[in-house]
Structure 1
Amino acid sequence: LNTKSGGETQTPFYIAVLASFAQLYRVNDTSSFGNTVRLVVFDEAFNKMDGDRITESVRLLRKMGLQAIICTPPDKVSDIMPIADRTLLVNKEKYRMHILSFGKEMTS
């Protein structure tokens, strides 16, 4: 582990987590029992991964039929935004929080 980058050590973790959720949500079950929301929530997601590994992880997530809410550090927004269906910004000012649409045109 000491010879690998942070992203290389995170990749197997995310694959295992996604496989666990796919099993839990019975992704291949076509009966009404397997008909669930299939939601996965990641906080501080992909913080040690490069853009290519992030893209592949999100592709795997979609291939497994999972939906995700991904909270990410600011430096990873540019990697995730092009492959996300929707991007929101949570802005905290003193004791108030605002959730704003954050589109690709706003980052230019």
Structure 2
Amino acid sequence: MRGAFDAIEGVLEDLNRQLRKRDFHGLTYRFSKRDAAGYRDMITLINRSSDPEFDLPLFEQASEAGGALDEATSNALKRLQALALDPHADIGDIEDPRRYFEFHLEMLNRKGDVKTDLARRIGTGSGGQLQVPFYVSIGAALAATCYPDRKGLDGGLAMAVFDEAFSKMDAAVVSEVLQFNESVGLQTIIAAPDKERSTFEQFMDTIVTISRMGTAIMIDVQEIKPLAHAEFRKANPRLIGFDGFRTAALQEGQATGDTANGSPDPAS
């Protein structure tokens, strides 16, 4: 079980390493875990058991030494003894390492302070702000399922399939979510109406267009290369944003002013 705990820690660290590179509406995301209330005694015993000098039999001397044990270890030992003596006991509660922890998705500002978490965002967020943490959580869950040891991310089929995906999210955040999915080893497949084509052309490697005319169905497949992605992004006003338009306007104004004052035209 100690090894399973370490594996969970490794998965979270790998996911968080990728999330630290992303900006979602001015926030970075982080997965955290806390000891589940009903498993703290068991966690204490499991952590102690990793000490090479730790030796505690389940029965015999264990009962006699009960008074010398700390409260957490003693409680965990009694729990294990009860399960061992009950032929009908469900040991699933102690076999699944995920039950030992509560997992949270936290959202941090640029200073690294926790601003909110998924539970609070559900009650206060709207539109894309509410969608983003769910897509991040889904992607993380799929990645953890497909690659539990985080080794060999290209060793299998790991698809994330979404219908009417990212309908309320701006293009910049869609890009961050898709890049996060790719970084954790997922292949994202999206079904969307044709009106969203301009959004996804700049991100997806392959676009399959399905059109129906009467009883005839036409299928067109396009492979989009990196240069085309870059050109689509440069031309997309939703990615330029207000600051980008303001910078362009200032640059154009400065260029116009220089030309009006007799400065040489750099294009000449």
TM range (shorter): 0.7 to 0.9
Counterpart pick for 1:7 among 102, 110, 128? 128
Q: Distance in 1 between matches of 2:210 and 2:183?
A: 28
1:54-89 deviations in Å (ceiling 9; x for gaps): 111111111111112111233322111111111111
For these two proteins, the number of residue pairs brought into alignment is 103
Paired letter, 2:131: Q
Q: Are the counterparts in 2 of residues 55 and 83 from structure 1 also a CA contact under 8 Å? A: yes
Secondary structure of 1:49 counterpart? coil
Secondary structure of 1:87 counterpart? strand
Aligned to 2:176: 56
Q: Could you list the structure 1 runs, at least 4 aligned residues long, displaced by more than 3 angstroms after superposition.
A: 1-5, 102-105
Q: Are the counterparts in 1 of residues 205 and 223 from structure 2 also a CA contact under 8 Å? A: no
Matched, 1:76 2:211: no
* RMSD, matched Cα: 2.6
Q: Which has the larger radius of gyration?
A: 2
Q: Distance in 2 between matches of 1:23 and 1:12?
A: 16
- The structure-2 alpha-carbon separation of the partners of 1:12 and 1:44, relative to structure 1 and needing over 3 Å to count, comes to same
TM-score where L is the length of structure 1: 0.79
Question: Identity over the aligned pairs, expressed in percent?
Answer: 28
TM-score where L is the length of structure 2: 0.35
Aligned to 1:35: 155
Paired letter, 2:162: F
Q: Which has the higher helix share?
A: 2
- The structure-2 alpha-carbon separation of the partners of 1:18 and 1:68, relative to structure 1 and needing over 3 Å to count, comes to same
In structure 1, stretches of 5+ residues that fail to align are: none
Q: How does 1:12-23 map to 2 (within 5 A)?
A: 12-23=133-144
